[in-house]
Amino acid sequence: MKKPVKITLIVLGSLILLYFIALLVAPKIARSYIEEHSKEMIGRSITIKDISLNPFTYVLDVDTLAVMEADDKTPFVAFEKFSMNINPLKLFTKTLDISDIYMKALYVRVKQHGERFNFTDILEHLARQDSIYYAEHPEEKKAEDNSNKSAAEIAAGLPVKLSLRNIVFEKGNIIYQDTKVGSKFHIKDFSINIPAIYLEDNATGVDVSLRFADGGDLSVKVDANMATYDFNIYLNLHRFALACIKPYLNDFINYKDFAGYLSANLTISGNINSILSSNVKGKVSLDNIDLTENSGHKLGAENVTVGIGKANLTDNEYLIDSVIVDAAFAHIDLYKNGKTNFDILLDPKNKGQDIDTTNVTETKSKEEPKEEPKAEAAATDSSSVAAADSTEKPAPAKKLKARINKLLVKNTYVTATDHTIIRPFNYKVTAITVTGQNINYDTPCNVNVTASFPEGGSLSLKYHGALSNLNTMDIYISVKNLVLKHFSNYSLHYTAYPIKAGTLAFASENKIVDRNLDSKNTIDIYNITVGNKVDDIDPEYTVPMKIGLYILKDKDDKIQFDVPVKGNLDDPEFSYGKIIWKTVLNLLVKVAVSPFRLVGNLAMAGANALGFDLGKNNEVVIDANTETFTSEQYAKAIKMTEMIQKDPNLMLTFTQYYNPRRTAKEYKVKQLKIDFYKQKNNKTELNELDHRAIDEMDESDKEFKAYVKEHSAEIDKNYMMKVLPKMAAQRNADLLKVLRAQPGVTKKNLKVITAPRESLRNYKDKPMYKVDVDVQ
């Protein structure tokens, strides 16, 4: 071999050997340098188990790196393994190609106390180093701020094209603590998967998944364009345990405990430069919400689900597909100081804390007086003001556009306790249902509420109005078969007489215009009975209850009167309930001091006035032309079920009788009255007050007779014969529901039926339920 060739090979071999030695030794040197000079670089200790670079595959491996806290003992950021592949051959094409970026068991622990974090000292150290460097090298300028440049513009300014591919982080742990608040969030199994990062006009996909140590998991998929900053986020949160936010609730409410789960499936589309303009759609749900007050009482719901069609803060647009609340529960406590349990709940535990008023007065007193502005400054200021006035004012906020396509609250109950009276009042309202459709913010809409009271009572409420103007609305309330003995404590408080028995029906039509109420109310009370006056109670009103009620009752043990209510809801002296209650009390006092009325009532009622008059013991007379019952009819039927309580072996059968032909004729007249009333009063729907006016209508009225003559042929007889059985079936169902709510009544010992068709044809008496007693 020739000498020059030999020398060339030796030199080339030496260079290759040095290259491999450098690749093998350089990482070791870098590891030692980083550990020895970490305090100088970032002000913290860094430990590294090993760094290696494969000279053949160009894979850089870092084994077990940890950045310590300021105490040099506790890890701040750490990982078990990090590796990446660098392709040096791509540099010849001016491309920095980095692939297979992998990190295992990333650990990050962030602690916050007020405005300081456990990494604030690192940022301050770097800022000092930066200041010292540029002070020593004044000829150099700081790098241009790239915050206003897009990723594509930054990429275009780099000397090489950047290629990042196949990025995977797995099994990470991130801990965040707010020591001032006392909160802690622990994220486990934190994983990231990025197939490629594109700084140009291509979508970069990012998949993130994690679990929360306290319960719940989250997966997020992001498609982002680094050039345009457009993004789409697909978020799926499953049963996130809300208990971890309890420390933050102390700033808002005063409570004992809180639990529940949050789930969400959302799509968020928008641009990073205009986050508030993003469109959000999807579904959010809360499960097993349970808020325990300091008193031990609870508020919550089994499930609350909101379907979001579109939500956009910039457009002020919120289109909700549905709001469904299932099995919610709450309680209301009224206290003598005028507060409720909600006032206590909304009084935060930390209210008034963290407000430092030290030296406020001193600072103000030491403030130097301002000098009068010079003429030039004044001129400058005035020109600045003129310029400011000439600038374009910000656009006004867009008008709110909100709609709920479907509202449903079901299986809900509320309990109430009134501590403001002598003996606390407790009551429970169950089966609360709220329904509404196409509820717009500006357009008047309808919302219906129904509920059940103890022992077969019921509530129906109809609301009509616009959410944008809650000062104007129509509300109709109907209460049926309300058992009065549950309200005995109110009677004791106001009159010192306890209520022993009785039922109440209440209908109220309320029109509110600009907070001014015009209300029509009718009260129907049957068989109300009070006990002896309690001597050790000093009532608010001195009322002779027993005599007053006795005089008010007619021969059928019934009391009925109307109470009009008018007033402004903002008037501090206005109280809807007190007006009605005071009207009742004034009526009792008025009739109680009328001895002639007392004598007349005795003569009218006879001996039966002292007992419970049911007419014939086995009959409950009804109106076959309506589906509803009066309080008297309910009470008579309920009274008959008391024998079942005395002997469970007895069985009652309520059989409904009416004559179809005669009832059809009466129904025709009633239907004509209804149609005439609707036409005359321009109404499409009727309430109890309307039906009462229809029942009192005079058939000999000229206008009505003319209407009958013109429209009588329009009501088909065959149609009426089909409607009557449906009405009878509805009466049976309504009566059965109320009677089965009574003590001791079961499916085995009570039946409500309609007599056979043949029996109805031959029936000639008044419409009624006949009650048969048998032994099981």
Q: What is the mean pLDDT of residues 374-394?
A: 47
pLDDT for position 354? 42
Q: Please give the share of the chain, as a percent, with pLDDT higher than 70.
A: 82
pLDDT for position 130? 82
Q: What is the mean pLDDT of residues 671-689?
A: 87
pLDDT for position 79? 95
CB atoms within 10 A of CB 742: 19
pLDDT higher than 70, residue 387: no
Phi, psi angle pair for 471, to nearest 5°: -85, -10
pLDDT higher than 70, residue 433: yes
Helix (H) or strand (E) holding 305: strand 298-312
Query: Higher model confidence: residue 13 or residue 595?
Result: 13
The pLDDT tens digits of the residues spanning 284-314 come to 999 999 999 999 999 999 999 999 999 999 9
Dihedral sign for Cα 613, 618, 623, 628, please: positive
The pLDDT tens digits of the residues spanning 18-40 come to 655 666 778 888 899 999 999 99
pLDDT higher than 60, residue 389: no
pLDDT for position 150? 60
Q: What is the mean pLDDT of residues 123-134?
A: 86
Q: Does residue 598 share a domain with residue 629?
A: no
Confidence of residue 713 (pLDDT cuts 50, 70, 90): confident
Phi, psi angle pair for 617, to nearest 5°: -65, -25
Q: What is the mean pLDDT of residues 686-698?
A: 85
Both tokens of 701, joined, read: 């009225």
- The residues, any chain, with a CB within 8 Å of residue 619's CB and separated by 6 or more, are 768, 769, 770, 771
Query: Higher model confidence: residue 235 or residue 16?
Result: 235
The pLDDT tens digits of the residues spanning 642-676 come to 878 777 777 889 999 999 988 888 888 888 888 89
Q: Does residue 659 share a domain with residue 543?
A: no
Q: Are 214 and 186 in contact (CB under 8 A)?
A: yes
Both tokens of 380, joined, read: 């400058």
- Selection from 37-41, 387-391, 595-599 with the highest mean pLDDT: 37-41
Q: Please give the share of the chain, as a percent, with pLDDT higher than 90.
A: 42
Q: Does residue 564 share a domain with residue 707?
A: no
* Cα 324–Cα 321–Cα 262 angle in degrees, nearest 5: 50
pLDDT for position 591? 55
Confidence of residue 720 (pLDDT cuts 50, 70, 90): confident
Q: What is the mean pLDDT of residues 688-706?
A: 86
pLDDT for position 201? 58
Q: Does residue 537 share a domain with residue 451?
A: yes
Domain boundary among the residues 551, 582, 610 is at 610
What are the percentages of helix, strand and coil residues in the chain, rounded to 5?
30, 40, 30
pLDDT for position 604? 33
Which residue's entry shows tokens 């076959």? 624
Residue 504's nearest CA partner among 517, 519, 518, 491 is 491
What is the rounded end-to-end Cα distance, in angstroms, of the chain?
Answer: 125
The rounded radius of gyration (Å) of the Cα atoms in the chain is 41
Confidence of residue 594 (pLDDT cuts 50, 70, 90): very low
Confidence of residue 723 (pLDDT cuts 50, 70, 90): confident
Q: Share the mean pLDDT of the chain.
A: 83
Q: What is the pairing mode between strands 95-104 and 499-513?
A: unpaired
Q: Does residue 757 share a domain with residue 633?
A: yes
In a domain, 114, yes or no: no
In a domain, 270, yes or no: no
pLDDT for position 153? 65
pLDDT for position 66? 95
Q: What is the C-alpha separation between 73 and 109, in angstroms, rounded?
A: 13
Helix (H) or strand (E) holding 585: helix 576-592
In a domain, 255, yes or no: no
For the ranges 10-19, 349-358, 595-604, the lowest mean pLDDT is seen at: 595-604
What is the DSSP annotation of 519-564? EEEEEEEEEEEE----TT---SS---HHHHHHHHS-TTSEEEEEEE
Residue 170's nearest CA partner among 221, 122, 210, 139 is 210
In a domain, 134, yes or no: no
In a domain, 644, yes or no: yes
Q: What is the largest CA-CA distance in the chain?
A: 150
pLDDT for position 197? 81
Domain boundary among the residues 564, 583, 610 is at 610
Confidence of residue 612 (pLDDT cuts 50, 70, 90): very low
For the ranges 45-54, 356-365, 617-626, 696-705, the lowest mean pLDDT is seen at: 356-365
Number of domains in the chain: 2
Residue 637's nearest CA partner among 483, 742, 774, 550 is 742
In a domain, 733, yes or no: yes
- The residues, any chain, with a CB within 8 Å of residue 451's CB and separated by 6 or more, are 429, 430, 431, 432, 433, 458, 459
In a domain, 169, yes or no: no
CB atoms within 10 A of CB 660: 18
Residue 643 domain boundaries:
619-775
Confidence of residue 614 (pLDDT cuts 50, 70, 90): very low
pLDDT for position 388? 45
Residue 176's nearest CA partner among 242, 105, 117, 249 is 117
Q: Name the amino acid, one letter, at 456.
A: G
Q: Does residue 671 share a domain with residue 647?
A: yes
Q: What is the C-alpha separation between 118 and 112, in angstroms, rounded?
A: 7
pLDDT higher than 50, residue 424: yes
- Helix 595-605 to helix 545-552 angle (10° resolution) is 60
Q: Does residue 639 share a domain with residue 566?
A: no
pLDDT for position 615? 40
pLDDT for position 469? 86
pLDDT for position 605? 34
CATH number at 670 reads 3.30.1330
Q: What is the mean pLDDT of residues 708-714?
A: 84
pLDDT for position 772? 81
What is the DSSP annotation of 627-668? S---HHHHHHHHHHTHHHHH-TTEEEEEEEE--HHHHHHHHH
The dihedral formed by the CA atoms of 269, 272, 273 and 278, expressed in degrees to the nearest 10: 20
The dihedral formed by the CA atoms of 115, 116, 119 and 120, expressed in degrees to the nearest 10: 90
Phi, psi angle pair for 86, to nearest 5°: -110, 125
In a domain, 727, yes or no: yes
DSSP 45: -
Both tokens of 734, joined, read: 């309504």
Q: Does residue 630 share a domain with residue 596?
A: no
Domain boundary among the residues 552, 576, 610 is at 610
DSSP 321: E
Both tokens of 730, joined, read: 């509805």
Query: Higher model confidence: residue 480 or residue 719?
Result: 480
Q: Are 580 and 621 in contact (CB under 8 A)?
A: no
Q: What is the C-alpha separation between 684 and 672, in angstroms, rounded?
A: 14
For the ranges 75-89, 374-388, 573-587, the lowest mean pLDDT is seen at: 374-388
Q: Name the amino acid, one letter, at 208.
A: V
The pLDDT tens digits of the residues spanning 476-535 come to 999 999 999 999 999 999 889 999 999 999 998 999 899 898 888 888 899 888 898 898
Residue 28's nearest CA partner among 46, 45, 48, 44 is 48
Q: Does residue 606 share a domain with residue 479?
A: yes
Q: Does residue 768 share a domain with residue 658?
A: yes
Q: Does residue 543 share a domain with residue 681?
A: no
Q: Does residue 699 share a domain with residue 568?
A: no
For the ranges 158-172, 207-221, 253-267, the lowest mean pLDDT is seen at: 158-172
Confidence of residue 355 (pLDDT cuts 50, 70, 90): very low
pLDDT for position 392? 54
DSSP 467: T
Q: Are 500 and 486 in contact (CB under 8 A)?
A: no
pLDDT for position 353? 45
pLDDT for position 372? 45
